[in-house]
Each structure stands twice: as structure tokens, then as C-alpha cells.
């Protein structure tokens, strides 16, 4: 395990974490912030726990899967194109990243993740889990709802547990994610949009995320079409279980 940094100090920076997970909410959030804020690459995370594959780009150059740390000015952003599937790998990388950045002055960590529900509204709720009362109250003041009970799987959750272990305040923001999107491995851009909006308020930044609505509508239309076909096949006249109903 190795974390390679280009700077020796990130005093008082906030670390935003978003790796691929359900609905890709964390991944979209992290990469959208990097793109919109013009983040510069300041660190890479190497680990044997990433997939044993060589990434090949369009120029024919190959490289290992790595985690990447960007500096956007107000915040650092930690993301990757994949995350380990084992609990050992997820815990090991999370621990190493938090340990290294805590030594460089990082005091707060915020991760983005999904909260999967069977039905959603256009305006998605965002839930918060924090390491302490002050952190939870800060995010609820920006519109998040306190999550009461349950577990959060993957690095977008466990890295906040490690931040508490190292004395760093942390929070997970979970955007309501439409279950059918997760079931067909699609991305929930609408959930990410609402997480980004709360993150922007917390960071004191102007980050417009309305363009994600366009992507969200395209994805939701595709999934709705798939669901409609499945239901129509199941409920054809003469087949068991058939009954007339309106497909919403």
C-alpha cells in the first residue's frame, strides 16, 4: 500500500470521498466537483487490493488501477474508477488514506453514497450520518436528514469510520437512489445532484449541478422503458397473473 503525494501539507482542507458504488452516486459527485472546480492531481493511491488488471487508454498506454486525490482549492477529492470488493481491501485503503492525510493536516472528511429506495420523487432526500453531533447538525442545517439506524457498505461508508478512529470529523451524505436504476446497473444522476448541492453549501462554493437533470431524465426514461416491457410481458392476456393496470 502506497500513497504518493505531491504536496507536504493540506492544512485544514476538507476531504471529499466518492468511489463507485450503488447508483454510482459517490463517483459522480466526486468527479463532477473535480471537473467543475478544476481540480489538479496531487496524489495517487497504489494497492494490491485494486483489481489485477492493466488499464489501457486510447493512446495505448497502460497503467495500474489507482486511487486519485485532487486539490480543488477548498477541498481535496479522493476517487477511483473502482474499489476493492473485499472488506480487507476496503478497510486497508481507507485506513491508509485517512492516516496519510491526517498527518498532512486534513481535519474533515465527507463521503457521498447512495440510499436505495423503491420509489422516489424528482427532488431527492439526502441523509447524513456523522461521527459527532456537531457534524450531523451542520449538515442538517443545510437540508440533509439524519439517518437513524442501518449500515453503509463499501469504502464510501467505512472511510468515515476510519476518520473517527484518527480523530477527524466525518460524515456520509446519502442521496435517495431509485432501486430499479441499481438493479440494471445504471447511474442515478439526480441523487448525485442533490448530494452535490448540500456539499456545495457546506464548502461555501457556487457549484451549479442542474445539467445533471438532463442525464437523469435520459437514464430514467431508459429504465422506465425496460420496466414497462417487463411488466407487459408478465401481464399478457392468458398468462398467469394478468390484470389490467396503469403503468406509472
Which pLDDT does position 231 carry in this prediction?
80
Give the integer Cα–Cα distance in Å for 19 and 67: 9
Whether residue 170 is contained in a domain is answered as yes
Residues in the chain: 248
Whether residue 233 is contained in a domain is answered as no
Whether residue 231 is contained in a domain is answered as no
Whether residue 218 is contained in a domain is answered as no
What angle, rounded to 10 degrees, do the helices at 155-165 and 87-103 form?
Answer: 50
The total number of structural domains in the chain stands at 1
| Tens of pLDDT, residues 196-212 | 999 999 999 999 999 99
Which pLDDT does position 227 carry in this prediction?
87
- pLDDT class for 188, splitting at 50, 70, 90? very high
Whether residue 158 is contained in a domain is answered as yes
| Tens of pLDDT, residues 113-165 | 999 999 999 999 999 999 999 999 999 999 999 999 999 999 999 999 999 99
**Residue 113 is part of which domain span?**
2-210
> pTM here?
0.91
Whether residue 239 is contained in a domain is answered as no
Whether residue 162 is contained in a domain is answered as yes
Amino acid at each position: 500500500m502506497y500513497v504518493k503525494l505531491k504536496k507536504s501539507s493540506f492544512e485544514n482542507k476538507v476531504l471529499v470521498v466518492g468511489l463507485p458504488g450503488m447508483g454510482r452516486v459517490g463517483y459522480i459527485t466526486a468527479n463532477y466537483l473535480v471537473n467543475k472546480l478544476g481540480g489538479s492531481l496531487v496524489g495517487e493511491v497504489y494497492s494490491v487490493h485494486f483489481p489485477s488488471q492493466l488499464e489501457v487508454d486510447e493512446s495505448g498506454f497502460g497503467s495500474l488501477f489507482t486511487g486519485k486525490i485532487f486539490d480543488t482549492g477548498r477541498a481535496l477529492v479522493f476517487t477511483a474508477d473502482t474499489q476493492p470488493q473485499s472488506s480487507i481491501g476496503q478497510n486497508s485503503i481507507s485506513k491508509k488514506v485517512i492516516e496519510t492525510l491526517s498527518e498532512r493536516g486534513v481535519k474533515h472528511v465527507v463521503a457521498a453514497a447512495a440510499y436505495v429506495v423503491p420509489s422516489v420523487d424528482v427532488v431527492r432526500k439526502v441523509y447524513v450520518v456523522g461521527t459527532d453531533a456537531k457534524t450531523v447538525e451542520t449538515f442538517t442545517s443545510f437540508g440533509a436528514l439524519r439517518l437513524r439506524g442501518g449500515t453503509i457498505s463499501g469504502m464510501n461508508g467505512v472511510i468515515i469510520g476510519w476518520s473517527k478512529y484518527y480523530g477527524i470529523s466525518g460524515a456520509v451524505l446519502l442521496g435517495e437512489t431509485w432501486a430499479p436504476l441499481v438493479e440494471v446497473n445504471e447511474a442515478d444522476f439526480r441523487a448525485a445532484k442533490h448530494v452535490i448541492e448540500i456539499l456545495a453549501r457546506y464548502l461555501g462554493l457556487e457549484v451549479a449541478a442542474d445539467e445533471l437533470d438532463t442525464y437523469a431524465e435520459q437514464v430514467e426514461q431508459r429504465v422506465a422503458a425496460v420496466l414497462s416491457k417487463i411488466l407487459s410481458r408478465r401481464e399478457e392476456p392468458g398468462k398467469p397473473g394478468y390484470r389490467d393496470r396503469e403503468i406509472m
